[in-house]
A and B are shown apart, each in its own frame.
Chain A
């Protein structure tokens, strides 16, 4: 089983709609999680950290569910510019960052 798993998508979202997707992780002791955004043929960029209490940054909300071992990302009022691949990152039992393969989001006009 991979350390971090994501639904690859694509999630096709009409502009203005809300989209949410999850990422499951296997290391129950992991304390730190992140969401990165990667545009096609570009480098990943940190979108937000995920705290135990959740995290909200504008239209983006990240939640952590320890009982079920997943983190989620919700995007409200989707913009065309939100189209990207969203990478979930957790920390494995050796303390190393593990990236998921990403969830592709396509926002359509």
Chain B
């Protein structure tokens, strides 16, 4: 069984469209994250939820809206997609909140290409 699964794996879309990426973890972890990895390979945190509560919200455009219906799911909705949104988006989960000795478990990533 996949511990952290995200869909879709690839997403190709036109500028201006709205799209969603889904993530689910079956590890029983309390904390989930969205990370963005750009062409320069930096992994940057976008959002973090702990037990459905938003705890980290980086300076991300408000076109990006995370939604956590329960602690096992964290979805990412993106409105009005722009060329600069093209990147790989990783979902992750951990037992602890950030700042502690948490270890992250990542999903396999969603490669978003905005044309």
Seen from chain A, the residues whose Cβ lies within 8 Å of a Cβ on chain B are 32, 34, 36, 41-46, 49, 85, 87, 91, 95-97, 99, 101-102
Secondary structure class of chain B's binding surface, majority of residues? loop
Secondary structure class of chain A's binding surface, majority of residues? strand
B83 / chain A contacts, CB cutoff of 8 Å: none
CB-based contact A43/B42 at 8 Å: no
Q: Which residue of A lies closest to B101 (CB)?
A: A32
CB-based contact B108/A96 at 8 Å: no
The docked-state distance in angstroms from the alpha carbon of A56 to that of B4 is 27
Q: Which residue of B lies closest to A51 (CB)?
A: B101
The docked-state distance in angstroms from the alpha carbon of A43 to that of B104 is 11
CB-based contact B43/A96 at 8 Å: no
The 8 Å CB contact of B90, one of A43, A85, A96, A101, is A43
Q: A85-B41, A97-B45, A102-B41 are in contact. Are A43 and B107 (CB under 8 A)?
A: yes
Chain A proximity mask over B84-115: 1 for CB below 8 Å, otherwise 0: 00000010000000111111111111010000
Q: A42-B108, A43-B90, A44-B106 are in contact. Are A101 and B41 (CB under 8 A)?
A: yes
CB-based contact B98/A97 at 8 Å: yes
The docked-state distance in angstroms from the alpha carbon of A41 to that of B106 is 13
B42 / chain A contacts, CB cutoff of 8 Å: 99, 101
Q: Which residue of B lies closest to A36 (CB)?
A: B104
